[in-house]
Amino acid sequence: MPEPDRIIRLKTVLARTGLSRSTIYRKIAEGTFPAQVRISINGAGWRESDINCWVREPAGWRGAGRGDS
Q: DSSP secondary-structure letter at 47?
A: E
Question: In the chain, where are the structural domains located?
Answer: 7-56
CA distance 45 to 11: 10
**pTM score over 0.85:** no
Query: What pLDDT band is residue 61 in, cutting at 50, 70 and 90?
Result: confident
pLDDT reported for residue 68? 44
Q: How far is CA 24 from the centre of its chain?
A: 9
Task: Give pLDDT, residue 3.
Answer: 63
For 2-53, the pLDDT digits (tens) are 666 899 999 999 999 999 999 999 999 999 999 999 999 999 999 999 999 9
